[in-house]
Each structure stands twice: as structure tokens, then as C-alpha cells.
Chain A
């Protein structure tokens, strides 16, 4: 291929790209500059919108759920930053003329942008509507995040037509997450847990569902950073460290809940003996003979290993090398 021909091909590609961008509908990746800018990027014309706005919609969709939105941020008509202040229902649901217009007998209403798990509107299109305004709150990091990769729509978690969006309520948020995260619902019913099922802690106390720089959508960069944000007494750094503690709390603990006290993954002494094999008492096979009623042993009952090595998370004592002081 000659240089001129190659340059020509490149020029063609560039022109087609530029031409395409100029005429691109641009609904999916609009700027976070409010609903007004969103409709600037829409290809809809004035005739695509309903005649009377919300009154048109409410003449059919007039249930309680439709009216609740007027007591939320989205439905504040007098607030210029609220979507309702622009094109009312059609700010989010898109132009409604075709949906509300005359339909052929038996044809059903022309679909309109709909939200939720059973909506006909594709997830990407649903989310694009929300992201017109919420890119700043949610962040561009939403793209490629775990929930976005799993095709979760904003409306799967957020209910804008509810009287109160359950994810924003201290005592109700977890139930929203449990719709998909069934294992975690069960974990929070185990005997040793964080106080989530009691309506004291929420899932977002530890997780950022929109995006995160850490594993498992944690609020912090690492597990330990997160745990130490509340359990600050364990942060140290200690003079004598216990290496697994410094590395990852989840090496010994189950954060969502456990059937073992202190949310441990396993009972001592076996938990400790999965890493300790030194001569002497660390590597002895402790059996039920060590229980009360037999030959009760401090290596078995009560705290087992922590009956002596109580400074299990580390010690700041100069004689604390064995985590006993």
C-alpha cells in the first residue's frame, strides 16, 4: 500500500468517525450537567412530548406510588435542579406522545422508558437516564464496577416512586440488598454478627455499591483499613505484631457473620493450629478430654489459646513478644 493510499484510508476513517460523532444521539454518555443538558442531546422533537405533561400521565397512572414522588427530591417542581421542573415525568421516562397517543385496537400502548427489574427498557438505557444528573454523585467509576458488570440497574436498588427510598433508610436498606445477596441475609442471622438485622448498621457502612477501589466494593482500599475505621484500637501499629492481623482481618474473621464467637472462621485451638506447629503445647492434639467433666484444660475451654495469649491482635508491651503481655 502506498503512503498516499494509507493516508487516504486514515482520512476516510477519521471523517466517518467525526461525522458519526456529530450525528450521534449521545443519550448514553451525556454530561453531568443536569436534565436541561440531557434533553439538548436528545433527538426528540417538541411533538414527541405529551400535550399536558404530568397531567397526561396522571390521568392514567394515578395511584399512590405516582403521587409519592412529589414529596421527594425528584418531584419538586419549584426546584430548578429537580428533573420534574423541566419536563415533568418525561424528564426521566422520555417523550410520551407516542405512549399516550391514539393506539390501534388491541395494540397496547407504545412503550416508554421504564425502570426496574421487569422493565422492557435495557439496563444501559435505564441507567443512562439517571446518570444524566447523578454522574457526580455516582462517579464515572460506575462504569466497569461489579454491579454495572452484573447488569444491575439503578432502579433495582432505588425506588424513586416510593414514599421513601428504602436504601436511604437505616432500618430498611439491608432488605433491598438481600433481594440479590441472599447469603448475606442468612449471614446476618447467625449468632455472631454485626448489628445489621437489628437496623443499627447498614450495608453501606462498609460497602460502596456504586464503585470502589477496594475488593468487594469496600469503602476503603483494603479490608484492614475498613475494619480499623471503627475498631481503631486494633490499628496500632503494635510493637509486637501478629502477622495475619497486619495482613488481613478476614484470615481469622467472617465479616458478615459466623457461628463462632467473635465472628471467627473456626474455633480455637484448631484455628490457631492451622498455622502454629511449634514444639510443645501449640501442636498437641486437644480432644474432648479437655472439656469440663473430664480433665478440663485451659487449652480447650473458655478462650483456649487466648486464655494466655490474650493480646492476639498485637502487643505494645516490651515483654509482649508472645502476645501474653
Chain B
């Protein structure tokens, strides 16, 4: 037997080998040692100065279609001025400024400004307007829309049903359902050293308008407008330290919401069901605030290991004064137990993650996440006045809902070769809820994925997952006046089996063509739910192709199809299931486009067509009797055409054309006028249908200070 070398000797030899290796290893090249004196960058484009790309012009909208103005602001016909700008400035010392403006002059305008000096400071500010335009076909007899008091005109005749409201036709008038968001932001980042950075951001959001709301007097209900006059101020501050192999960050987020209106009072359009039931009053969203402190850290350890940790503690609260139990002065009630809800919810979030690759080709990952909602709102007993009609003999208690969510993930991947990698992971979630039917649910998930590059030009991945959820016993909540059917299983807590598959294929055929396919399917089964959601499924398929016909001419096409289905059961007799409901939603969209610069001499053109169709089907099977609702459908067509003629190096003439057509069939709105339903005074919104065109003519001007581009000459 050969003599085994003593370990100390082995160690010494190893140490010497390391030292020799260190001595003979090529020394790293420091930048100072590389002779860059000849690196004059003579072929480089100038880097400092101004570069401005500005476009201005006028558009013409052919028709005033209100819903066309949703997010565009173009709800009126006629001419409008608009413009876009992109401006950039670099100084010779690294100072920079960037200004962007979009749809300037329109209700959907946005301006963003950023500037600063790299690795020293950054400033940023923006303004954005978002127009929301929903309905202009809505009518109401109420006056005071947009305020917190809705009244009926003098001479209004109350009636037991809408058909008896004799003054309705003469009293109703148009009211638009719309909102405008105005968002202002400002921020600053300071990086005084390469290790420290400070960030502070402020955002102010103002929302103004009205949306559709409703209030009832027992089973007689009325739609009306709810005023929106909201303001939110938000501050985000961060302090960060970055060292060679670790980072630490401390953050604060504070948000303050203010609602100008605390309540909405509306006159009773129906004949009162009891004396004194002349008006109703809703509580509008209360002023609230939220604060959160967070601490994050990351560290890089040997053996290609990174650990991350994040902890945040937050509090949401509101203490707006409570409204009285009822506006019906004839109903005696107890005093309120408190003047305000004194509502308070504390949140805790923890995220711990470690990723390591100790062995070549293997990567392991572990993660723990904890989210807690601790509702500290005092639970009190309140009188219950049912829709200003009567005082219930049974008081009610406000219930504070809490949860604790624990999530554990373990995963690993193995790189078989440079083209192939497999992943596998297990995930366990434990969700604990208070005051709900199931105190504890547990979900286990297994997933596996293959990433492969079968040939040089193709990338593919395929993922399969399976999941099972179960938990503690399902206990009916009984301390309420009208409890659930004991057989009901809420789908967010019910036992569930889920399986799914996802796959993505991408092919890049050189510079000329690219092709992508996306497939996804999943199925949920609730085998232990005899009442509630029983089954749901999803299937989706998409394609994406682009092709360069020539170096300059591009064509592209995308398409996507999907279907979601679900089936649920319920009981009209508070017993075992005696009816089921099925839904099937389908959506298809496709886009074709062509970009052709130089279609005729210097004239460039681009054209794009988009089509989208949705179909929603709902059917009920009640003791063997099938009843299917009409299809809910939307159909959308859009054609965009653009022409670009460069008059000179700096000046281009642009013409644009947009056609949009949108049609909707919606049984919830079709044929429903204010008095169609005896006990629903409706706003009579019609499904949105429109066809509209926009023509744009403008000029685009490019100014480049260093190349002196900017002359309007054709030279």
C-alpha cells in the first residue's frame, strides 16, 4: 500500500500552489496602464448640447362620441391643438436635462422633466391628466349632481314604483358620468458618495367628477351620481447604503387621503314605506392615512450566495365622525357607541430570501414571506336601521378582519448544458383568517420548468404546476341574522386542486424575422364544495410575428385568443344544490401592421389594424330548466394610418388618421330606461357604441445643437 502523504504536507503543498498561481497569474490591467492617448474618438458623434424633437399640429374629431373620450379626452367633435416634445440636454460636465411632453393641449396630456448630474443628484417632476369618460346617455330627475345633496324638483310625485312617477319624464335631465385625474409628482435623489443615496418623492393626486352609485329604501332603489372630490398626498423617502458586497435601505411611505364630501343625501323618489322615510344618507369614503416604515438589506456571500431581507411595518387609520344611524327622525335610536370608528389596521410584511450556487450548474433558492393584517378597529355594538325604514331588534357588531399569511418556497435549477436548464420548486402557504368560516387554509404547490434552446435561433420554456389547498374545518358563521347555507364553501378558502401548464417559444430568424408563441392553460376544481364555485378553467393561445420585407419595410402581426369558464352551484331552499350557474368568457384580438419608410420617394407610411372581440355567456340550470342569457359582446376595430414627409433634415410634415369603431351588447343595460324596472329608478345608461375618426396634420421639428440641424431649409 503506498504511503499516504500526511495532511499537513498536503496543506502546505496546496498553499504553495496557491501562491505560485497568484504570482504567475496575469495581472489585471488597470485603466491607468492602458494607453488611451490615441483614443481620440474622432468618429464619435458629439455628445453634449441640445437635441429637441418637437411635434405640433391640429387634429379634427369628426363626431362627438363620449366614450371615445375615455382616456383620450376627445369626447367632443371639432378641432383641437396638440403636440409632443422630447428634449434632451447634456453639458460638457455630465449635467443632463430631459423633457418629455405627450398629447399637450389634450385632456390626456403628460409632461415629465428629469435632470441632474450622474452619480451626484437627480431631479424629477411630472404632471399627468387622465380623463375618464363613461356615459353621457345617463339621465336623472335628481338635482345637485356633483354635490353631496341630491334633491328632487318641486312638484315631484312620489310613487310605489317607477312606473307611477308621473313627473319623471319632465324632470329627468342629462347627467354625465366622468372623472378627471390630475397627478403631480416631484422627486429628488442625492448620491453624495458612491455609497450613500437619498431619495424623496412626493405625489399629489386630485380626482374630480362623479360616478354611478345607488341607494335603496328596502327593495326600492335608485341610481344616482356620487360626487368625487378626492385628494391624496403621498411621500416616499428612502435612505440607502451600498458597500462592496452588501446593501442596506431604510424607507418611509406616508399617504393622506382627503374627501371633500363625507356623506351623500338623496331624496326618496318612492312613496315612503314608513313615516319619515323622506331621504337616505350614505357614508362616503372617509379621510384616511397610511404610514409604512421599511428596512431592507442584501448581502453577497461566498459560494455565489446572496441573501435578502425586508421588513416593513405599517398602519392605516381613519377617524372620521360617524353619521347618525338614520335621517328618519321618527326612528328612535341609541346614542352611537363612539363618535368615530377609530379604525386602525396594522400591517407587517417580512420577506427573506437566499439564493446560492455552491456547485457549478446548480442554483438553490429559499424564500420566506409573511404578511399580516392586524385589524385593531374596536368592535362595538351598533343599532341597525334598515334603509331608514325600521330599527332592527337585533343590534349588529362591526367585525374586525385579520389575516396572517405565511409563504415558504424552496426551489432549485440545474443547467444541463449551455442550452438547457431545468427548474423545480415547492411552495407552501398557510393563510390564517379571523372571524371567517375557515380559520386556516394550507396550499401546497409543485412546479417544474424546462428552459431550452433547441437550436441557435429558438428559445423555449415549458412549465407545469400542480397545487392543492385544504385546511381546518369549515365552520359556519352563525352569530348573524341571516347566516350562509352550511354547505357553502367560499372559493378563496375552499379545498381546491389546481393544475396548469404554460409554454413560450421564441424564434429569431436572423435580423429578418421573429416569431413567438404563448400557450397557457389551467384548471381549478373544488370537489368538496357542494355550494359555491365548483370548477373553473382558463386556456389562452397567442402568436407574435414580425418580418422585415426589406431592410426598411417591416410587417408585424399579433393575435391572442383566450377562454375562461366557471361553474358554480347554489340552493334556493337553503339546502343542497338545486341550481347551477355557468359562465364562459372568450376574448380574441389581432393586430396587423406595416411600416414602409420611402413608400414614394421620401414619403414614409405606416398602417395598423387592430380587432378585438369579447363574448360573455351566462347560463343557469334550475332544477333541469336551462336559461341562457343573451351574449354579452364587445367588438372593437381600429385603423391607424400615418404619413411622414421629410421636408428637410429638420422638418417633417406629418399626417395621421385614426378610425375607431366600438359596439357593445350588454343585457344589463340594453333596453333599461329610468322606469323599466318597477323598483329601480335607473340612470338609463346605454351600452357604449361609437364610430369615430380623427385626422391630424402637423409638423415635426428636430433641432440638434451640435450638428446645427434645425434649419428649415430643404438643403
Q: Closest 5 CB pairs between A and B?
A: A8-B7, A19-B18, A53-B39, A79-B94, A144-B355
CB-CB < 8 A to A322: which residues of B? 386
A110 interface contact, C-beta 8 A: no
Verify B671–A292 contact, CB threshold 8 A: yes
What are 5 inter-chain pairs, A to B, with CB distance below 8 A? A81-B119, A144-B367, A171-B102, A232-B257, A325-B215
CB-CB < 8 A to B215: which residues of A? 310, 324-325
B2 interface contact, C-beta 8 A: no
Closest to A271 in B: B583
Distance, CA A294 to CA B31, complexed state (A):
83
Verify B38–A51 contact, CB threshold 8 A: yes
A216 interface contact, C-beta 8 A: no
Verify B223–A307 contact, CB threshold 8 A: yes
**Chain A interface residue number, banded:** 35 or more
- A277-B488, A302-B682, A303-B212 are contacts. A186–B288 as well, Cβ < 8 Å? no
Verify A144–B387 contact, CB threshold 8 A: no
Verify B385–A319 contact, CB threshold 8 A: yes
Which of A11, A71, A293 contacts B7 (CB under 8 A)?
A11
Verify A22–B18 contact, CB threshold 8 A: yes
Verify B587–A186 contact, CB threshold 8 A: yes
Verify B282–A8 contact, CB threshold 8 A: no
Distance, CA A322 to CA B399, complexed state (A):
12
Verify A285–B118 contact, CB threshold 8 A: no
CB-CB < 8 A to A247: which residues of B? 373, 401, 403, 433, 492
B468 interface contact, C-beta 8 A: no
Which of B30, B259, B413, B533 contacts A149 (CB under 8 A)?
B413
**Which of A59, A82, A180, A267 has the largest count of B CB atoms less than 10 A from its CB?**
A267
Verify B234–A233 contact, CB threshold 8 A: no
Distance, CA A169 to CA B351, complexed state (A):
31
- Complex interface: stretch among B55-63, B317-325, B693-701: B317-325
Distance, CA A108 to CA B31, complexed state (A):
29
- A247-B492, A280-B482, A300-B668 are contacts. A19–B300 as well, Cβ < 8 Å? no
Interface 0/1 of A161-177, CB less than 8 Å to B: 00010000111000000
Closest CB-CB distance, B423 to chain A, in whole Å?
Answer: 7
- A144-B355, A293-B671 are contacts. A54–B43 as well, Cβ < 8 Å? yes
Q: Which of A68-95 contact B (CB under 8 A)?
A: 68, 70-71, 73, 75-82, 86-88
B184 interface contact, C-beta 8 A: no
Interface 0/1 of B672-684, CB less than 8 Å to A: 1000111110110
Closest CB-CB distance, A222 to chain B, in whole Å?
Answer: 6
A266 interface contact, C-beta 8 A: yes
Which of B314, B461, B484 contacts A278 (CB under 8 A)?
B484
A101 interface contact, C-beta 8 A: no
B664 interface contact, C-beta 8 A: yes
Distance, CA A18 to CA B570, complexed state (A):
68
CB-CB < 8 A to A77: which residues of B? 41, 44, 47
A213 interface contact, C-beta 8 A: yes
Verify B28–A40 contact, CB threshold 8 A: yes
Distance, CA A139 to CA B246, complexed state (A):
9
Q: Which of B271-311 contact A (CB under 8 A)?
A: 280-283, 285-286, 288, 290, 296, 298-300, 302, 304, 306, 308, 310
Verify A11–B28 contact, CB threshold 8 A: no
Which of A34, A189, A316 contacts B283 (CB under 8 A)?
A316
Interface 0/1 of B11-48, CB less than 8 Å to A: 10011011101100111111101111011111111111
A111 interface contact, C-beta 8 A: no
Distance, CA A3 to CA B323, complexed state (A):
79
Verify A151–B451 contact, CB threshold 8 A: yes
Distance, CA A251 to CA B492, complexed state (A):
7
Distance, CA A208 to CA B457, complexed state (A):
29
CB-CB < 8 A to B403: which residues of A? 247
Closest to A133 in B: B119
CB-CB < 8 A to B377: which residues of A? 237, 239
A105 interface contact, C-beta 8 A: no
Distance, CA A289 to CA B627, complexed state (A):
9
Verify A310–B257 contact, CB threshold 8 A: no
Verify A19–B221 contact, CB threshold 8 A: no
- Complex interface: stretch among B139-147, B340-348, B599-607, B650-658: B340-348
Distance, CA A300 to CA B631, complexed state (A):
14
Which of A149, A199, A211, A277 contacts B531 (CB under 8 A)?
A277
Verify B484–A76 contact, CB threshold 8 A: no
A273 interface contact, C-beta 8 A: yes
Verify A316–B571 contact, CB threshold 8 A: no
Distance, CA A150 to CA B620, complexed state (A):
43
A67 interface contact, C-beta 8 A: yes
- A117-B459, A200-B110 are contacts. A241–B223 as well, Cβ < 8 Å? no
Verify A54–B39 contact, CB threshold 8 A: yes
Distance, CA A190 to CA B668, complexed state (A):
18
Distance, CA A189 to CA B635, complexed state (A):
11
CB-CB < 8 A to B668: which residues of A? 267, 300-304
Verify A321–B382 contact, CB threshold 8 A: yes
Assuming A11-B8, A221-B347, A287-B620, what are 6 further A-B pairs, CB within 8 angstroms? A16-B18, A52-B40, A183-B562, A235-B316, A238-B343, A259-B614
CB-CB < 8 A to B371: which residues of A? 221-222
- A73-B96, A183-B518 are contacts. A191–B26 as well, Cβ < 8 Å? no
Distance, CA A270 to CA B566, complexed state (A):
10
Interface 0/1 of B373-412, CB less than 8 Å to A: 1010100001111110000000010111101000000000
Closest to B234 in A: A229
A103 interface contact, C-beta 8 A: no
